[in-house]
Amino acid sequence: MHVTPDHPRYVSLSLRERLIQAHERGIVSIAGLIAHGRGEAFDYLLGEYTHGFAIDAIEAMAANIVLARHPVFVVNGNVAGLVAEDVVALSREAPLHLEVNLFTPSAGRTRTIVELIEGLGGVAHTPEEDTATLPGVSSSRSSISVFGLGSADFVVAPLQDGDMVHALKKAGMKTATIDLNPLSRSAHDADITVVDNITRAVPLIRDAVRFLKKRSRKELEVISRFDKEGALHEAHRSMTERYR
């Protein structure tokens, strides 16, 4: 597909194309293409820009990343297909551990995503290196790496179907997600929810980490607190007001 930047839906169509190509390269699952459609619909309802409630969440997430002993960012097919480069840049800035964890895994897809990350200068954990089990996840995502999620105290798990964030919380970890759907289970279960497109959010998280690294622990502790219920309420209000 060829779209020029003057097309009114250029950004949205380019992202679609990026995901289709990532599917053809064995990174994104078929279910991932459907999941992207759901995200697109919520992005449309939100006006396709980063709201103030998302900026607040991004700052809180960044402060938690800087404060954490062992922060981990979960990479699935859609995350890799959309923002691999930005996620690797963030992981190097923080530093932050990356773990590839797939809903519909195959050895081939996990390897392809790890190679993509390595090709961009990053490092990724996979359950194969030394497997632990995350209780309460019914899918094969319950297999995690001892050195990644198995050691985490703060986890960013974006674009998830719900049980992952729930299980991580039950295991005692502080959690954050990025999800355009403010009604989703993950959005409600996570301690910090960034309601924004991951393609806009991750570069902003990196900027925030770079800035906050210079702050004192005391300041970071204040910034790391987040009113999630208030942010979700604002996201609902923004969607409904736009279409009233």
Q: Residues in the site for ligand PTJ, rule: CB under 6 A? A: 29, 31-32, 35-36, 38-39, 42, 76-78, 82, 102-104, 159-161, 178-181, 184, 197-199
Tell me the residue number closest to ligand PTJ, measured at CB: 39
Our CB check for ligand PTJ shows the closer of 26 and 151 to be 26
CB 200 → ligand PTJ: shortest distance, Å? 8
Q: How many residues does the chain have?
A: 244
CB 222 → ligand PTJ: shortest distance, Å? 27
CB 217 → ligand PTJ: shortest distance, Å? 30
Our CB check for ligand PTJ shows the closer of 64 and 181 to be 181
Our CB check for ligand PTJ shows the closer of 48 and 67 to be 48
User: What is the biggest distance separating any 2 CA atoms in the chain, rounded to whole angstroms?
Assistant: 52
The 3 state secondary structure assigned to the chain is CCCCCCCCCHHHHHHHHHHHHHHHCCCCCHHHHHHHHHHHHHHHHHCCCCCHHHHHHHHHHHHHHHHCCCEEEEECHHHHHHHHHHHHHHHHHCCCEEEECCCCCCHHHHHHHHHHHHHCCCCEECHHHCEEECCCCCCHHHEEECCCHHHCCEEECCCCCCHHHHHHHHCCCEEEEECCCCCCHHHHHCCEEECCCHHHHHHHHHHHHHHHCCCCHHHHHHHCCCCHHHHHHHHHHHHHHHCC
CB 214 → ligand PTJ: shortest distance, Å? 29
CA-wise closest residue to 202 among 116, 108, 84, 122: 84
Our CB check for ligand PTJ shows the closer of 162 and 220 to be 162
CB 35 → ligand PTJ: shortest distance, Å? 3
CB 203 → ligand PTJ: shortest distance, Å? 13
Our CB check for ligand PTJ shows the closer of 138 and 216 to be 138
Our CB check for ligand PTJ shows the closer of 11 and 67 to be 11
* Contact in structure between 27 and 211 (CB atoms under 8 Å): no
CB 234 → ligand PTJ: shortest distance, Å? 17
Our CB check for ligand PTJ shows the closer of 203 and 220 to be 203
* Contact in structure between 54 and 201 (CB atoms under 8 Å): yes
